Structures are given as C-alpha cells and as structure tokens.
C-alpha cells in the first residue's frame, strides 16, 4: 500500500540518466504528481522493489539492500493534506513500533510519541527529530507545515540509532523536505475547507428531570440538601408545616426549574468549527539552480469555545550545483497563533471541559441576553442553582490564553566532490523557536475581581520562552564499487550541537481597561496599591561534541555489513563519564541471490537482517548531576543553600538492542512484508535511591535499574488488483511490545501515586485497591484485601494491588486500503491501540457525593437504595474512593481517515493550455472510534482521563491544481 519510496527512487533514476532531459521532465511531472492522491499509483509498478527503496539513515542514505537497520518510511503524501496542525499526530498508525498518543484535541497540540516502548522511569521518552540533517526540538511542531515533507523515516534499531549515540535510544525521526527539480516552473495550488465537530453528543450527565428527582431522592435518603429539588420538595419534612400559599410558591419554583433544559455542550462546544487551508507551492530551476518554495495558511477553530489555531508558514529549499561543488540551502519559517482554553486536563471549573459536566441542567445562563453569574446574580434576585456553568462561561468570555509561536529552521549543506567516490560535506543549521504566551483576565468583571487576583482588578501575564539549537556536521564520505562486486561506503564526521533555552514571565495586576491585552495595561505595583507583579524565569543549555564513523559493505548484492561508531562528549554528564562510545554492527543476507531460489520466480526478495548496538537517551534535566545550591534571601540579602545532592557517577541510561528482520516480496512484488524482532535492554535506568538523611539529603538519582522492551513489528502490504484501470491495495502494520522492569538496583518496587514500578511488571502499571462491588444488603462500597477477602474499609497502602494492567498498549498499528479506478480513488485508514487501561477520573468527579452539588453522571440513577438492590453504584452517603472500578479498557480502533478523490481527465485539461492536473477531494479525519471506554476519548498521553479536550472529527473538501 505504501508507494515505496517511489519518488526517491525516481530521484535515483534521475541521477542515473542525467543526460536524458526528456525523461527528466517526465520524472519531474511524476514527482510533483506524487503529492496528489490518486496519481502516485499510476506509475510503473516494476519500480516497487522492496530492496531498491532508499532509506534515509541520517548522515547518509542507502538502499535497503545495503542497509541492515530497522527503518520505516512514511511518504509525505500520507501526511500532506491531513487536517491536523501538528505533524506528529499524523504519524499515528503509519509505521509499526511507533506509538502516537494525543493528549488533547486542541488544534496544534503535540502528541506523545514512543518508539519501541518506554525504556526509562523518570527520563525522557521523546525520540530525536532531525529535519534535513539538523536536529530540531521535539514536541514543538504546530508551526511546521507537513505539506513540505517529502518523507518521514522512523529509525528504530541500534544499527539505525547508534549513529545518533547519546540521543538515539528513544529512536530517531528523520524528516526530509521537498526539493525542486530542474525544468519548467511548476506551480501547485491546494485549498481545503471544512468543519470540526465533537465525536460524541452525550456527556452522560443528568438532565433536568433526572437531576431534580435525584436531589429529592438524596434528600429523602440522607436528608442532605443538595439542591432545589429537595429544598422545595413537598416531601421535605421541613416544608410540611408551611402555609398553603408558600407550598404553592415552592411547587411553582420547581415547575419553572423543570422547564429549563440547558445543554452545556451548546455553550462550551462548537458543533461546526470552521477549517481552512491554502497552500501555494512553486518549484523548478535549471540543472545548476533548483528551488522549491511553498507558502501555507492554515486556520482551524477548535471544538471548544474560543480555541483554535492560525498558522502562516513559508519554506524555500534551494539547490546549487557548480561542477564538483553543490550546496543545499533550506529555510523554513512559520508563525502560529494558538488560542487555548484554560486549565485543560484538570478538575477546575474554569476548564470548560469540566464545566460541561458540572453545569446543572436547570441553570439558565442568560436572562434577556445577559449572562447571570455569581457576581451579578443578586441583581436578578438570586438563583436556585450553583451558577457553576455560568461562572465558567463568564470566565471563558473574560479571559484569554494565547500562545504565539515563531519558529524557523535553517540550514546550509555544502558538498565538494574530490573525485567520483570521495566527497567532503558540511551541514550547518539551526532550529529556533520563540513562544510568547499571554494570559489575561479582564478588569471590572467577576473573574477579574476574584480575591486570588492581587488588587482584584484583572490580570495580565506574559511569558516568553526562547529555544535555540545549533548543529554543525562536517566530514568525508568515500563510496565506491570495486570490481563490480564490492560496494563500499565509508564515512567519518565531526558534529557539534549546542542548545540554549531561556524563559521569562511576568504577571501584573491592576489592569487599565482601555489597554487590556498588553503589558502597558499593568499598573506598577507597590505595597500600597497591592498590585505587586510576579517575575519569573530561567535558563539552561547543553553542548554535545561527537565523532562519527560509518561503514557499509555490500558483496555481490548478497551479503551486506554495516558498522557504525559514535563518540559523544556531553555537558549533561559529569566529567568522569563525559565521553562515551556507541557502536552498532549489522549484517544482511539476500537468499534470493542464492541459486536454489533463483528458480522460484514467485519469490522476488527474501532477505535476512540482524543487528546489535548501543545507544542512550538524553536527560530530562540538563544539570541533574551537579550538586547545586539554590537561592534564598535573608534580611533582604542574597543567600544560598544546598538544593541538589548531585551525583558524580551520573551516567546515561544505555540501551543495547538486538534486532533481527526479514524483507520479503512475493508474486511480482505484489505482496511485500517487512518484519522485525527486537530485544532492547536498557541499563543504568535512573531510580531514586533513598539516602541516610544524616547526609543532609533524602534521595539521589542513581543509574541502577534495568528495563527491557521486547517485541515484534510486521508491515505487510499488497496489491490485490493491479491493472490498467483498477488498482486495489491494502496494508497492515502491527507492533507488539512487551515492557518489563528487570531490576531496580536493590529494591523490588516503589510506588508513584496510583501506579507502581515493580520488578517483573511494565513500567506504567496501575496500582490501586481492587473494587469489590456494592454490598446488596447495606449499599456500602466493598474493597478487596490482598488476601482476597472483602471489606468495607479502604486503605490504599495495605490493599493496593498491581493486577490492572498498564497505560502502554501491547499492540499498536494501522490498517489501510486504497482503491483506484480510472480517475477516482478512495482510501481508508484505521489506527489502533490494544490492551491498555486508563483511569477514568471524570467519573471520580461525576459519581462522587463530595461533588454532588455539581451535576453528576446519570449512572447515579441506578444506585443502591434498599436491601437487595444489585448494582455497582453504592448508596449516596458512601465515601467515594479511587479503586480499580475507575480503571477502564482504553483499547480502540479508530477510523482515522477516509479520502475520496477525483482527478480531472487529462484530455479535458489539455484544452485549458494552463492546467497540468487538477483534483477534487473530500476527506474525513477521526470519523469513528470503536472502543469500550466510558469516557469521551480513549486516546490520551497519560494514565488518567481528566477532563481533556477530546479529539474532534474533521471533515473537509478541497481542490488541488497543478499549473
């Protein structure tokens, strides 16, 4: 199903047939057309040979037959038109062993990306991202235009990642951007428009009738007055002695409340949030100077009120060739304005995703067009509800939270060919990112007058964070084929990498209304006016110097051998561990080249690969090894006190990975299979060692643990029908990863809140008290003791067990199918994650007597009321505890994308004399999710559903035209 590196293969062809201008023009056309769904399958299928696929390996490229590492390649065409702002989200399900989990449906939010399982407890799990040879910041992608991406390679095994040494253990994601081809100017215009909407219509909370009845019943059952349903109830004994007129008034109140039916979703969520994208690109040039240039405008409103993203991005890639010298200059710059909701992923009322649940159904937010909130309800004669929803609405309307991001990635790659087989190269580049984050609360509003705001006259917070990463790689590459049988590539490089990060933030008060939104609105603070501003900030940085060597040898296209070496010196480890060597070795054997298989024509490829090597992952903290002294004050003068114990033996978490793989192509390359088995053992995993407190410190991070990730990855694709008018292809990729804590260096386990790190279990294993159901006789909640007996008392320390699985899926992958008939094409894509469990904390808040004044889950209606009731919901008075009841299966299969396209017939376009091709398409993203998960969205980047912004369903229609 994947168009196996087609366009890159074309590029190769291009270099082989330099003289053939005619062919080149054709190839150019094809390469441009590649980006259009429906066109790529129209080309010569004999090129689809697995081993001819070019893999980008970092520092070098190779064909699969030369290469022995485990790499998955995702073609840019799979990413180019997806209506999502952060490209990492688009990778979900596209490559085996790559787990992408989004924690937020906020447009532009990055995802959690894990390659081959989590190999650390407290360290970084993010892969290394490299664009055109220059390392870029992970997790910051919303300002990049994925439309510029030619391909994305996922480097997984040691043979592939050891080349990145101390940064490679979490895997490497290499991005190559589009380049211009020599030939006439080619213009391409693409635009799409559509809407986003919530994927579910119901939040499973009570409606007005249910709520009022619930309030009355709670009153009857416990005497607890939780709302007007009981306070004004005729059944309330306190009302029994009231005069008849008063009783009538009470009935009237209940009657009018009963006629209010507020669906808070209508106030906080958008049913059709608009989406617009425009992209114009141009490419072309001469043999000596070629360019690719693209401008993109992307605007997507979020499904939550006021959220959205607007992006402007621009890229120009220039290639210059002058005899033996060539240069590639890549510049990309983008600006994004991201509007966010407040307190996402938290139970606070100001999180609109929580207020949707909390708001009472008989609370009417607007009276005569005016919002009635706690600040002004007295003027309306008061209300009988909590105003929780209205207050949240007021907050949402009178506050802002915007992030403006400016991001640029620039690099210049120079190359000089001394001879046909020896060249020197250097690649200098940097990645720059600046975030300006502004949060405001309007003065003169209810929110702006809260006591938590000094001076009670609004707030303006503005922060700026600057990230800069510089990379320079220089080296020599020797590549030659000797006597037609020995194909040898040897290369050596020196690399230097420097990162700098700084941030500052100020929060000021006493906002002058006319100037709201800027720093100038802040009133200078003094002890008298109480507007004392807050100022914060920080700086950090790293330096990394490396020597790199790689060698590849291919004998008679049959035996291949890859060796890599990297020596890293890093500022993030103490002096005695500063320099470390990383290496890998890999071998490949193509059985198809053996005589005994030559006669089996149905086998096109049968190749075995294996590799072993070492790498490490970067640290979450740049200076964790130093014994640091923090600042304090005494008598207005500076003071320092020991703050960090440091560790002189602090070292990397080293991963040793063994990988064995097979590449198979059958039946005229119609069936293609790439499969890998790996065993990744990470040693020196950081654990917190408890110290004798007589040392002055409590704990110290030491390299003591061992974590193993072991798994299988399969990528199978095939052309089911392949003829002139009709092609039907399908692909399936799946990865199984088993994660185990092997050792914790002396201790057997330690708990981390509701999860446990225990030898023999996966790292993110749930650890909580097992739910024992509701006692039918008493209505009390029951819990299991560790010995299996039931009790009504709850003790998280003595009862917790670790039998509820983990948040990391055992299986992940994707399924895709594509049908092309004449000018029509259709593609469906599913992604899935199986065997993972998460806490559904939303139910902790909506099925909890402690929060019963807010609206609650309709599951309350099936609670225990009298002896004999068989239910899973205890009586109202029962204290709500966290148990295994809150852990739910978060497995899902998601219909991630459906695309339908029609390409206008070439005959028709010929007459226009202008258009080279044109296509119209419609697509739906995140259309349906198959899951047993009870919350809003099973997909998340952490262990707990906590009123997250759910992923939206986006439907767009677009036109793509080439001139």
Partner 1 sequence: MKKINIKAITGLLLAGVFTSCSDKLERLPYTSIELSQSFKTVTDAKTWNNGLYSQLRGRVYGIYQFSTDIQGDQLNASLDYGNRNGNPHRWDGFLSDDYTIRDVWSGYYSGINNANIAIEGFKTITPKAGTETTDLNKYKGDAYLARAYYYHRLIVRWAKSYEPATAATDLGVPLVLVYDVAAKPARATVKQVYDQILLDITEAKTLLTAVPGKQGSTRFTKHVVAALEARVKLDMQDWAGAKAAAEEVITAGTYPLINNQAELLAYWKDDAPKETIYQSLTAKPSELANTNIIYLGLVAQTGKFTPDFIPSKWVVDFFDNTDFRKAAYFSAKTLTIQGTDYPGIVLVNKYQGNPALFTAASTNYQHAPKLFRIAEMYLISAEAGARAGAATEAAALTRLNELRVARGLTALVGLTGVPLFQAVKDERFRELAFEGFRLDDLKRWHQGFTRREPQNINTITQGPAYQGLTIAADADKFVWGLPTNDVTINPNMKPQNQGW
Q: Which residues bind partner 1 (CB under 8 A)?
A: 322-325, 414, 416, 424-426, 428, 470, 472, 474, 494-496, 498, 532, 538-545, 569-571, 578, 622-623, 626-645, 690-698, 700
> Residue 708 and residue 403: Cα distance in Å, rounded?
39
Q: How far is the CB of 694 from partner 1 (least distance, A)?
A: 5
Q: Which is nearer to partner 1, 647 or 956 (CB)?
A: 647
785: its two tokens: 């003791």
Question: Which residues make beta-bridge pairs with 523?
Answer: none
Cα–Cα nearest to 472, from 452, 447, 498, 446: 498
In the complex with partner 1, the residue whose CB is nearer, 595 or 695, is 695
Smallest separation (angstroms) from partner 1 to the CB of 507: 14
* Identity of the residue, 481 or 850, whose beta carbon is nearer to partner 1 in the bound complex: 850
Q: Considering beta carbons, is residue 632 or 803 the nearer one to partner 1?
A: 632
Q: Helix, strand or coil for residue 209? A: helix
By the 10 Å C-beta count (0-12 exposed, 13-18 middle, 19+ buried), 346 is classed as middle
Smallest gap, in angstroms, from Cβ of residue 647 to partner 1?
A: 8
Which residues touch 941 (CB under 8 Å, ≥6 apart)? 101, 102, 103, 104, 111, 112
Interatomic CA distance for residues 718 and 661, integer angstroms: 19
Eight-state DSSP code of residue 693? G
Cβ neighbour number for residue 716 with a 10 Å cutoff: 17
Q: What is the DSSP letter of 727?
A: E
Q: Which of 629, 628, 624, 627 is nearest to 651 (CA)?
A: 624
Least distance (Å) between residue 626 CB and partner 1 = 5
**To the nearest whole angstrom, how small is the minimum distance from the Cβ of residue 633 to partner 1?**
5
Nearer to partner 1, 533 or 711 (CB): 533
Kindly provide the b/e burial profile for residues 622-637, where b requires at least 16 CB atoms within 10 angstroms of the residue's own CB. Answer: bebbeeeeeeeeeeee
**Based on CB atoms, which residue is closest to partner 1, 322 or 518?**
322
Return the number of the residue (694 or 725) whose C-beta is nearest partner 1. Answer: 694
Q: Distance between CA atoms of 955 and 899, rounded to whole angstroms? A: 10
Distance CA 872, CA 878 (A): 12
Determine contact, residues 897/887, Cβ cutoff 8 Å: no
* Residue 423 or 860 with smaller CB distance to partner 1: 423
Smallest gap, in angstroms, from Cβ of residue 623 to partner 1?
4
CB of 697 to partner 1, least distance (A): 7
User: Whole-number minimum distance, CB 415 to partner 1, in Å?
Assistant: 9
How is residue 880 annotated by DSSP? P
Rounded to a whole number of angstroms, the minimum distance from the CB of residue 60 to partner 1 is 17
Spatial separation of the C-alpha atoms in residues 680 and 661, rounded to whole Å? 14
Assigned token pair, 450: 């809260």
Q: Which is nearer to partner 1, 270 or 580 (CB)?
A: 580
Give the gyration radius of the chain's Cα atoms: 31
**Strand, helix or coil for residue 25:** helix
Judged by beta carbon, residue 272 or residue 877, the one nearer partner 1 is 877
Which of residues 413 and 763 has its CB atom nearest to partner 1 in the complex?
A: 413
Q: How far is the CB of 641 from partner 1 (least distance, A)?
A: 4
The closest alpha carbon to 264, from 300, 308, 305, 213, belongs to 305
- Please report how close the Cβ of residue 496 comes to partner 1 at its closest, in angstroms: 4
- Shortest Cβ distance from residue 645 to partner 1 (Å)? 6
Q: Is 798 helix (H, G, I), strand (E, B) or coil?
A: helix
DSSP sequence for 514-551: GGTTSGGGSPPP-TTT----EEEEEEEEEEEEEEEEEE
Cα–Cα distance measured from residue 24 to residue 14, given in angstroms and rounded to the nearest whole number: 6
In the complex, least distance from residue 632 CB atom to partner 1, rounded to whole angstroms: 4
Structure tokens at 906: 């070439």
Residue 296 C-beta: closest distance to partner 1, Å: 31
Residue whose CB is less far from partner 1, 191 or 505: 505
- Give the number of other CB atoms < 10 A from CB of residue 717: 21
Round to the nearest angstrom and report the end-to-end CA distance of the chain: 28
Contacting residues for 375 by C-beta, under 8 A, at least 6 apart: 394, 445, 446, 449
CB 101 within 8 A of CB 833: yes
Cβ at position 533, least distance to partner 1 in Å: 12
Q: Which is nearer to partner 1, 602 or 634 (CB)?
A: 634
**What DSSP line would sit under 449-501, residue for residue?**
G-TTSGGGS-EEEEEEEEEEEEEEEEEEEEEEEETTTEEEEEEEEEEEEEEEE
For the chain, give the number of residues: 963
CA angle 354, 360, 364 (to 5 degrees): 115
What are the residues facing 470 on neighbouring strands? Answer: 430, 498
CB 445 within 8 A of CB 372: no
Query: Is the Cβ of residue 466 or residue 498 nearer to partner 1 in the bound state?
Result: 498
Q: How far is the CB of 878 from partner 1 (least distance, A)?
A: 20
């Amino acid at each position: 199903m994947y168009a196996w590196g087609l366009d890159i293969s074309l590029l190769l062809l291009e270099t082989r047939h330099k003289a053939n201008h005619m062919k080149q023009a054709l190839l150019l056309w094809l390469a441009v057309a590649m980006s259009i769904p429906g066109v790529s399958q129209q080309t010569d299928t004999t090129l689809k040979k697995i081993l001819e696929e070019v893999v980008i390996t970092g520092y070098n490229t190779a064909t699969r037959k030369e290469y022995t590492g485990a790499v998955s390649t995702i073609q840019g065409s799979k990413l180019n038109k997806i209506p999502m702002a952060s490209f990492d989200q688009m990778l979900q399900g596209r490559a085996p062993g790559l787990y992408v989990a989004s924690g937020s449906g906020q447009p532009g939010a990055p995802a959690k990306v894990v390659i081959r399982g989590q190999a650390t407890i407290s360290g970084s799990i993010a892969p290394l991202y490299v664009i055109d040879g220059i390392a870029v910041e992970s997790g910051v992608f919303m300002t990049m235009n994925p439309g510029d991406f030619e391909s994305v390679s996922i480097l997984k095994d040691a043979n592939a990642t050891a080349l990145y040494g101390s940064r490679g253990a979490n895997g490497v994601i290499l991005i190559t951007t589009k380049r211009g081809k020599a030939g006439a100017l080619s213009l391409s215009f693409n635009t799409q428009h559509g809407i986003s909407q919530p994927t579910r219509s119901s939040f499973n909370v009570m409606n007005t009738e249910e709520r009022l009845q619930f309030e009355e019943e709670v009153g009857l059952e416990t005497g607890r007055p939780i709302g007007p349903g009981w306070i004004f109830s005729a059944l309330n004994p306190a009302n029994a002695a009231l005069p008849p007129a008063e009783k009538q008034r009470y009935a009237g109140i209940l009657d009018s409340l009963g006629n209010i039916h507020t669906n808070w979703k209508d106030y906080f969520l958008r049913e059709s949030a608009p989406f617009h994208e425009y992209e114009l690109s141009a490419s072309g040039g001469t043999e000596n100077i070629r360019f690719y240039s693209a401008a993109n405008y992307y605007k997507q409103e979020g499904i939550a009120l006021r959220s959205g993203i607007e992006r402007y991005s621009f890229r120009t890639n220039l290639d210059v060739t002058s005899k033996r010298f060539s240069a590639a200059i890549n510049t990309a710059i983008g600006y994004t304005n991201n509007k966010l909701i407040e307190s996402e992923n938290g139970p606070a009322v100001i999180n609109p995703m929580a207020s949707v649940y909390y708001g009472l159904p008989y609370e009417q937010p607007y009276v005569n067009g005016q919002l009635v909130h706690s600040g002004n309800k007295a003027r309306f004669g008061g209300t009988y509800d909590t105003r929780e929803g209205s207050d949240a609405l007021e907050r949402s309307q009178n506050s802002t939270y915007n992030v403006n991001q400016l991001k640029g990635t620039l690099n210049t790659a120079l190359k000089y060919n001394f001879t046909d087989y020896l060249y020197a190269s250097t690649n200098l580049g940097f990645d720059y990112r600046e975030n300006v984050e502004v949060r405001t609360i309007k003065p003169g509003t209810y929110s702006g007058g809260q006591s938590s705001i000094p001076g009670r006259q609004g707030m303006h917070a503005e922060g700026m964070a600057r990230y800069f990463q510089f990379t320079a790689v220089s080296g020599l590459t020797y590549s030659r084929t000797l006597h037609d049988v020995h194909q040898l590539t040897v290369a050596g490089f020196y690399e230097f990498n420097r990162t700098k990060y700084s941030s500052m933030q100020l929060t000021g008060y006493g906002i002058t209304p006319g100037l709201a939104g800027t720093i100038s609105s802040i009133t200078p603070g003094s002890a008298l006016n109480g507007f004392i501003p807050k100022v914060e900030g920080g700086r950090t940085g790293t330096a990394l110097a490396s020597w790199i060597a790689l060698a590849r040898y291919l004998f008679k296209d049959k035996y291949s051998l890859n060796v890599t070496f990297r020596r890293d010196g890093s500022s993030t480890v103490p002096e005695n561990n500063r320099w470390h060597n990383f290496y890998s070795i890999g071998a490949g054997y193509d059985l198809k080249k053996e005589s005994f298989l030559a006669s089996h024509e149905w086998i096109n490829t049968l190749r075995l690969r294996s590799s072993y090597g070492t790498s490490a992952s970067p640290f979450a903290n740049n200076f964790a090894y130093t014994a640091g002294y923090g600042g304090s004050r005494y008598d207005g003068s500076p003071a320092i006190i020991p703050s960090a114990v440091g560790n002189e033996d602090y070292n990397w978490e080293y991963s040793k990975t063994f990988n064995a793989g097979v590449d198979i192509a059958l039946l005229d390359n119609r069936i293609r299979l790439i499969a890998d088995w790996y065993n990744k053992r990470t040693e020196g995993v950081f654990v917190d060692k408890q110290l004798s407190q007589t040392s002055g410190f409590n704990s110290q991070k030491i390299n003591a643990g061992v974590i193993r990730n072991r798994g299988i990855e399969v990528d199978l694709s095939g052309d089911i029908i392949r003829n002139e008018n009709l092609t039907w292809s399908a692909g399936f990729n799946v990865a199984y990863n088993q994660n185990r804590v092997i050792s914790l260096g002396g201790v057997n386990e330690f708990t981390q809140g509701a999860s446990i790190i225990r030898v023999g279990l996966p790292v993110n294993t749930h650890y909580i008290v097992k739910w024992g159901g509701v006692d039918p006789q008493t209505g009390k909640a029951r819990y299991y003791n560790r010995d299996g007996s039931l009790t009504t008392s709850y003790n998280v320390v003595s009862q917790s067990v670790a039998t509820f699985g983990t948040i990391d899926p055992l299986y992940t992958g994707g399924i895709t199918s594509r049908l092309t008939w004449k000018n029509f094409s259709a593609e469906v894509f599913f992604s899935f994650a199986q065997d993972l469990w998460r806490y559904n904390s939303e139910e902790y808040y909506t099925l909890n007597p402690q929060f019963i004044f807010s609206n609650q889950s309709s599951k309350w209606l099936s609670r225990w009321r009298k002896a004999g009731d068989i239910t899973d919901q205890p009586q109202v008075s029962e204290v709500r505890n966290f148990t295994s009841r809150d852990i739910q299966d978060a497995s899902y299969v998601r219909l991630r994308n459906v695309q339908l396209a029609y390409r206008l017939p070439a005959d028709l376009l010929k007459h226009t004399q202008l258009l080279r091709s044109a296509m119209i398409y419609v697509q739906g993203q995140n259309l349906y999710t198959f899951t047993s998960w009870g919350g809003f969205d099973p997909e998340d980047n952490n262990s707990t559903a906590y009123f997250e912004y759910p992923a939206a369903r986006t439907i767009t229609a677009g036109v793509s035209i080439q001139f």
